[in-house]
Amino acid sequence: MRFTDKICLVTGGTSGIGQAACLRLGAEGGQVVALGRDKADGAETVRLITKAGGKAVFMACDLAKPKAIEATVKKVLAKFQRVDVLVCDAAMMTFEPLTKLTLDQWDLLMQVNLRSLAQLTQLCLPHMPKGSAIVAISSVHAHQTTANVVPYATSKGGLEAFVRGMSLELDFRHTRINAVAPGAVDTPMLWSNPNVKSGREKIDKATVGQPEELAAAIAFMASGEASFIHGTTLAVDGGRLAQL
């Protein structure tokens, strides 16, 4: 199994793509540390992993709070001494035109979607051994977006720039960093999107991906099988970007 005895830290690990990634990493032998805000959802993630014979713990962490991130990473290191795989999946969206959006809303989204990635990378890197990997979850919105989600699209574009830039600072034989960009995936975030509900963003239900399909891509990018992949974004979107 590709992640036997590896410490796998996953943000957004309580639902959707993040939870699916936790289950996949756990099924492949990883010691999963799932981060999220909801303790009940976190307990369910742990239950699913352990029921399947894997190992997992949940740690509550609000990525909007830098001190909480710092405290959580300290707990992870105190318990496991290292981080082999860091998957940054947690994200939020807003659905207002920019002229109606408060700067506080903008700042909160950037904290959760982008600054937390930088902080987690900064805190974990000194404790990531040879062969470790960072996988940041982007979105096709970094390349093809719709109205009223400008902050989200901006954060994902910034995330991909972060990945490219950090790849120049890292020795890929020690720690690799890459992004995975989902298209439309069957998650609560997709179906709660007002643009999708109104039809402004067209979704062909026949081509909506499943969280497990994204988890497979994330696990590949985090594994030794992707040892020569560094500083890039893998689009996992059912061909959506190919239609541009």
Active-site hit among 3, 152, 162, 220: 152
What is the sign of the dihedral through the CA atoms of 55, 57, 58 and 64?
Answer: negative
Residue 88 pairs in a beta bridge with: 11, 136
Q: Identify residue 184 by its one-letter amino acid code.
A: A
First to last CA, the chain: 37
Is 152 noted as a catalytic residue in this protein? yes
Element (H, E) at 181: strand 175-182
Other Cβ atoms within 10 Å of 203 Cβ, number: 16
Q: What are phi and psi of 190, to 5 degrees?
A: -65, -50
Beta carbons of 72 and 59 less than 8 angstroms apart: yes
How far is C-alpha 43 from the geometric centre of its chain's CA atoms? 19
Instruction: Tell me the three state secondary structure of residue 41.
Output: helix
What's the Rg (C-alpha) of the chain? Answer: 17
Task: Determine the Cα–Cα distance for residues 101 and 97; give it in Å rounded to an integer.
Answer: 6
Which segments within 28-147 are labelled E, that is strand? 31-36, 55-60, 85-88, 132-137
Of 151, 54, 51, nearest to 105 (Cα)?
A: 151
Q: Which residues are catalytic?
A: 152
